[in-house]
Amino acid sequence: MNILKPFLGLVFIWITSNGFAQTQLNEVVVSSPRLNIPFSEDSKSVTVITAKQIAETPVTSLADLLRFQAGVDVLQQGLEGANADIYLRGGTYSQVLLLIDGIRVDDPQTGHHTLNSALPLEVIERIEIVKGPAARIYGQNAFTGAINIVTKKVDTSKVTLTERIGSFDTDQFGITAQHAGEKLQHIAHVSLQESDGYRYNTDFQNFHVFTKSNLDVGTNRLSLMTMFTERKFGANGFYRWIANKDQYEETQSSLVALTSTIASENQKWTWTPRIFWKRGQDEYIYFRNNPSGGRNFHITNRLGASVDVKNTNTWGATGLGVEFSNVNIQSNNIGDKNRTIAHLFFEHRFTTGALDITPGFAWSNYSDMGDFFYPGIDMGYRLGQNLKLTYNTGYTYRIPTYTDLYYLSTTTIGNPDLLPEEALSHEISLRYKGKNFSIETAVFKRDGENLIDFVKQSPSDTAWVAENISGKITTVGGELNAQWRYRIGKQTHTLGVSYAYLEDDYIKSVYSKYALNFLQHDININLTKQFTSRFASTASYRYAKRALGENYQLFNLQLTYTLNSKWRMELQGRNLFDVTYFENLIPMPKAHGLISLHYTL
């Protein structure tokens, strides 16, 4: 780790160059479909990324941002999140649930499409990463965890124009407009990003549209949210088909949701009903310039309604939720499929002195899979004003995707006889949160059964076949997250360090397409230094080692200069040491950069 030594030396010099003072770390209230609890009081395993942290990180997409979090692995097959898969704690890309303001945006076709619904960073207030058994409250797909994107809170009226240019002829233009009225608030965003790509047939185009309007009537709120994203990209060697250099793909993801928040006069009862429609579209062409040589086309729809109820009473706090939805797919490969889904959630938080206990359960019914019941419990004990010990245990599950069940090609074969995945997970964590310093450590264990992977019995086999892995697979690991905010003179600086370790007992008796190459060691160091009120920098370092032995180190840098209240400029350098590395067998870009200019009206 030769690069790490000079970087740590740089960190030490920057910190000790002047005397420093302490600064306050702000409290965050973590959202939940059932209970809203301040982060310091919550006994779930939750990582919160604030809007300030997003702005300070040298990234421009959600996929790149999540790579900096302990226990999160993002494997990209291109640039700027054009095509990427997300993994939590050694699970697969289909075992992570993505939500927007608590609304599920998973795609029943395949977990490969999870990040197709990623919002632009400009409209994100914060991101909540719930890992381990505590994610059971979100239901299906939250097998290893869930990621909830909380959209921007509108408290000022302004319009921001953004222009970005960079390596590989990358060009992006975006507009974000927001209006803060007494009873009406609006935010709208549109952006288009294009690039020629960093190697043959890796060009891409990302198009985003997002709107949200809030109407406040007394203590009640009505919100309408719409989202549309379209990604077009050359898929040279994607999906581990290294020899296939001329693939091409276009994906779409859209969401329309109407949500109401109704509170009783004494604020002890809160009802949150919502209706939503989520649509996905995927067109895959085997030969980009000859669609007749092989083309898959899929459209998925999810139409649903839900209501969450929260009540504060003498016994503590109670959360209850129900959801009904209809899911269908129309595909020239998978066929036309349909299912109805019903979910019921319940949890209650008891608090006595320094101890809090939150038992709960979830029940789900799938018209084509049957019933599932998965209980769990979260416990916390406050050892001091700033120190808390927590324990979580519970069951999670995952229904096979339509690709797992029915996809058919010469290289990939689904299996209609697949069983749902199941897991029993345990986690213990110790959390300290002071005025200027916070740290959390966690150890966990997950016993999984019927895990699904695409496998070959021998390297000579031509097709990957979906199968339930026989026997129990145990995954163990640990995580550490620390943040120190300090002051030199009048300026505030932040140092963040995280480390994650994973191991499992999966014996390689077959050739696995996805399950074997998890991120075993992951170190992230981020230093944000505010030199003056106008000039700041963020340096980031990452060391990653995979279970199969590959490892790499990356160093990124962002320089930010704020001219005045209207103009701001950012310069980003990525992979500054020109490291050669691979993700999903795909060679990733060498050193490259990006310049951003922001103008606010």
User: Which of these ranges, 97-111, 216-230, 268-282, 450-464, has the smallest mean pLDDT?
Assistant: 450-464
Query: Any idea how long the chain is?
Result: 601
Among 194, 59, 163, CA closest to 575: 59
Q: What are the residues facing 151 on neighbouring strands?
A: 124
| pLDDT number for residue 13 | 35
Query: Residue 505 has which token pair?
Result: 């007992």
Position 276 in a domain? yes
Q: Is the dihedral of CA 590, 243, 583, 206 positive or negative?
A: positive
Position 536 in a domain? yes
Amino acid at 257: A
**pLDDT bucket at 15, cuts 50 / 70 / 90:** very low
| pLDDT number for residue 276 | 98
Position 5 in a domain? no
Q: DSSP character for 408?
A: B
Report the alpha-carbon distance of residue 71 to residue 518 in Å, rounded.
10
Give the mean pLDDT of 44-52: 88
Whether pLDDT at 7 is above 80: no
Percent of the chain with pLDDT over 70: 92
- Under 8 Å between Cβ of 106 and 277: no
Whether pLDDT at 201 is above 50: yes
pLDDT digits (tens, 9 = 90+) for 240-292: 667 788 999 999 999 999 999 999 888 899 999 999 999 999 999 999 988 88
**pLDDT bucket at 515, cuts 50 / 70 / 90:** low
Q: What are the residues facing 147 on neighbouring strands?
A: 98, 129
**pLDDT bucket at 460, cuts 50 / 70 / 90:** confident
Residue whose entry in the numeric block shows the structure tokens 């003179």: 489
Among 396, 395, 478, CA closest to 444: 478
How far, in Å, are 67, 298, 355, 377 from residue 394 at the CA level? 26, 35, 19, 6
| pLDDT number for residue 554 | 95
Q: How many domains does the chain have?
A: 1
Among 322, 231, 327, CA closest to 277: 327
Give the mean pLDDT of 342-361: 94
Whether pLDDT at 20 is above 70: no
Position 182 in a domain? yes
Q: How far apart are the first and last CA of the chain?
A: 46
Give the mean pLDDT of 458-470: 87
Whether pLDDT at 488 is above 90: no
Give the mean pLDDT of 142-155: 93
Give the mean pLDDT of 468-487: 92
| pLDDT number for residue 314 | 87
| Highest mean pLDDT (candidates 285-289, 315-319, 510-514, 597-601) | 597-601
| pLDDT number for residue 17 | 39
| pLDDT number for residue 35 | 62
CA angle 343, 349, 352 (to 5 degrees): 170
Whether pLDDT at 1 is above 80: no
pLDDT digits (tens, 9 = 90+) for 554-583: 999 999 999 999 999 999 999 999 999 988
What's the CA dihedral at 263, 51, 134, 138 to 10 degrees?
Answer: 60
- Under 8 Å between Cβ of 256 and 263: no
Position 4 in a domain? no
Position 372 in a domain? yes
pLDDT digits (tens, 9 = 90+) for 398-455: 999 999 999 998 889 999 999 999 999 999 999 999 989 999 999 999 999 999 988 8
Give the mean pLDDT of 49-74: 91
| pLDDT number for residue 168 | 96
Residue whose entry in the numeric block shows the structure tokens 């996805």: 514
0.75 exceeded by pTM: yes
Give the mean pLDDT of 325-336: 97
| pLDDT number for residue 466 | 94
Position 462 in a domain? yes
| pLDDT number for residue 139 | 78
| pLDDT number for residue 88 | 93
Position 8 in a domain? no
| pLDDT number for residue 234 | 94
**pLDDT bucket at 337, cuts 50 / 70 / 90:** very high
CATH number assigned to the domain comprising residue 478: 2.40.170.20
- Under 8 Å between Cβ of 400 and 420: yes
Q: Print the domain residue range for 368.
A: 18-600
